[in-house]
Each structure stands twice: as C-alpha cells, then as structure tokens.
Structure 1
Amino acid sequence: MLFKELEDKYFKNEGFSSIRRTVRGLVKDADGNFVMLKIEGEDFFGIRNHYETPGGGVEVGEGYEKALLREMEEELGVLCEIESFLGMVVGHYNLLNRINVERYYVCRIVGETSSNQTDVEKVLIKGIEHKPLNEWLEILKTGDSSVDKLVHDRDYQAFKYYADQCNM
C-alpha cells in the first residue's frame, strides 16, 4: 500500500540514477511511546538537526522484515517484534539523484541488545527519544534546513497515516 509520494521541492531535480529499497520502523516502547533518533551534524546533505525513524537500506538477498529487525538492533540496540506492515512512502531525493521506496512497519520493543551503528551513524545519531504520537506529529511539522524538512515530512506522513488508521 503506497500512502504517499513525496517530491523534493528543496533541491534541483537533475534526474534519478538509482532506486533504494529501505525499511523504517514506527517503534513503540513499553509505555506506548514512539522512539525516534535525534540526528545532528554535517555530512554531504549539509547541516542536519532533525528526528528520524530508525531504519535503513535493505541489503542484497535480505528480506524486508529481516532488514527491519537488523536495523532496529544496529541503530537502537533493541530487539523488536513486528506488529504490522503499515505501507510505503516513495521519496524523490534530488540531491542524491535517487528515489527511495520506504517500507514502514509498526513494531514494539521486546528486549535490549547492543547497538552496532556504522561510523557515520555514530557521528550523526546524538540520542534516542521516546514521545507520544501526538508530540511527534507536532515536532515533524517543522524543520530548520531543507534536509530536516525532507526527513520530517517523510516521517510525518507515516505517523499521520498510522494515526488515521487507528482513528487517533
């Protein structure tokens, strides 16, 4: 189920050279709050100061659900149980000349493990925050930079779709 296609209105479109398959988690903790990564720093995107759902690319030969559970362990240091597949956001990222097909899942934390973040993630991930859904929906309506707005809009669409499906 595709619930949103996002056009990049911040960077010039010079065509797309690749498609990336990704998985992202709307991760619930034991209190029913949702977990997001706090991203700060500078990379090829520019200065970043935003929140982001945990997730990432699907490796060659890896299934979507396996990739999701791996990403939750790597980025959050948690074991998760998948509750449901929510749907997809297709994002056009002009700066990367890439289209991302983001598969969102709803999952809940069932245990802890050690994280195994990449070197880039170790630099950019400044923390993990737990907040109720309504707070995330408000936070994700804003962003300081173009990259912050792109990421927040993508994740806002997923949280909003989830809220609509649950009649919240």
Structure 2
Amino acid sequence: MLSPYNLAMDIIKEFKDDQYPRKGDWKERRIARGVVINGDGLFALHRIKRNDIFGNYAYYETPGGGIDLKESPATAFQRECEEELGYQVEILGEIGIIKDEYALLSRKNVNYYFLAKATKYVGKHLVSDGDSLIERTLYLPLDEILSLYENLPNKGIPFLLKRRELPIWLKAEALLNREKDALSLAKPPKLY
C-alpha cells in the first residue's frame, strides 16, 4: 500500500520562470494539487483556456488550487477536488513538491501533489477566478495524458505547466506501477 501522507514530502523539482519578465516583488503561494483516478481507471485533467497577460493559450493542468490560511495541503486538495471535479477523494499517498514561479504575477509557488482516487460524486461548485479558466475536465488513460503534456509547446505558459506537471505524472505512474507490482506479489500462487 502507498504510504500515508505526512507532509514531509520530497521536493521533486524547482523551476525559474524563463518565459516572462518579472513584474514586482515576489509573493509566495502554497497550492495543493494532484493526480486523481476514477472508478474506470481514468485520470482527471483540466483543459485550461486563457487569453490574458500570459497570452492566448490552451494547456492542461491537474486539479487543485490555493491552500487557505490554517488549512493543511491534504485538506485543501480534498476541498479543491470537490469544487473542481465534484468528487470527494481518498488520498492514497504523496507524490511530492514542485516549486515554480510565474514572473508576470511575481509569484513563487510551492505545489504539494497527492495521488488520490475519486470516491463519491457530490457535484461541482467552482468558486475561484482560476476555476473560470477551466474549459472542461477530461478523464483519460495515463498514456494519453503523458502524450498531451509531451506535445505541449516549449514556450510560454504551456511550457511552464508542462515543466511543472510532467514530472508529477511520471512519478505517479511509477507509484502506481510499484503498487500494482506489490499487490501482484501479495497474491498467493494458484495451486493446480
């Protein structure tokens, strides 16, 4: 079984924004995000469409959002999944932390990533300005998601998201494969 979350997550990567000029003093934002699998073995992925200071782009992003004051990353992730996906989720484990920045927003992010499964549909209730950028939520096999990220352009906001999220999907894939291998080893052999 995957280890329970303990918020002593490893930092997987740290990225500087080399795509846009900085606009002011840096602010830090803590964000809870994750890889969510549904009962059909498909993974949730937002298609984001924006036309703003970053430009006119479409790209993909994991569910998640800002951590409220006095809220743990795990609790924030569960809340964000209810808001954006309409599902309560069970956290299966931690994936890790990605630190990145958005120079146009003068923001440095600490992204806490979890692996979770959708358990109960409770209905979406999008509440933040960022939620309005979600064009739609897709449920796809992992290999299709990896292909979508690998084929994003290597410039602008899509590149920043690709750089942040592709390592998370690859680590989630490794965790799921390790879990599958452990479960198959735990099964007793068939006796003929």
Tell me the CA shift for residue 143 of structure 1: 2.6
RMSD: 1.9
Larger displacement relative to structure 2 (116-125 or 129-138)? 116-125
Tell me the CA shift for residue 66 of structure 1: 0.9
Check if 1:69 corresponds to 2:81. no
Residue equivalent to 1:148: 158
Residue equivalent to 1:132: 141
Residues 2-29 of structure 1: CA deviation (Å, up to 9, x unaligned): 1111222211246752111000010001
User: Which structure: larger Rg?
Assistant: 2
Contact 2:82 2:122 in 1 (8 A): yes
Contact 2:46 2:136 in 1 (8 A): yes
Name the aligned partner's letter for residue 173 of structure 2: A
Larger displacement relative to structure 2 (139-148 or 124-133)? 139-148
SS at match of 2:151: coil
Name the aligned partner's letter for residue 150 of structure 1: L
Residue equivalent to 1:104: 113
Structure 1 unaligned residues grouped into runs of 5+ = none
Structure with the bigger percentage of strand: 1
Residue equivalent to 1:59: 68
Give the whole-Å Cα distance in 2 for the aligned partners of 1:18 and 1:143: 27
Residue equivalent to 1:92: 101
Larger displacement relative to structure 2 (115-124 or 135-144)? 115-124
Give the whole-Å Cα distance in 2 for the aligned partners of 1:16 and 1:167: 42
Check if 1:9 corresponds to 2:18. yes
Structure 2 unaligned residues grouped into runs of 5+ = 1-9, 179-192
Question: Displaced runs of 4+ in structure 1, greater than 6 A?
Answer: none
Tell me the CA shift for residue 65 of structure 1: 1.1
Give the whole-Å Cα distance in 1 for the aligned partners of 2:50 and 2:22: 25
**How many residue pairs align between the two structures?**
168
Larger displacement relative to structure 2 (14-23 or 44-53)? 14-23
Larger displacement relative to structure 2 (90-99 or 37-46)? 37-46
Residue equivalent to 1:23: 32
Check if 1:164 corresponds to 2:143. no
Contact 2:91 2:117 in 1 (8 A): yes
TM-score (normalizing by structure 1): 0.90
Percent identity between matched residues is: 30
Contact 1:23 1:58 in 2 (8 A): yes
Contact 2:54 2:156 in 1 (8 A): no
- Quickly say closer, same or farther: Cα 1:48–1:87, change in 2 above 3 A: same
Residues 103-139 of structure 1: CA deviation (Å, up to 9, x unaligned): 0000000010121112634532121111111111111
Give the whole-Å Cα distance in 2 for the aligned partners of 1:14 and 1:165: 38
- Quickly say closer, same or farther: Cα 1:119–1:167, change in 2 above 3 A: closer
Give the whole-Å Cα distance in 2 for the aligned partners of 1:131 and 1:158: 16
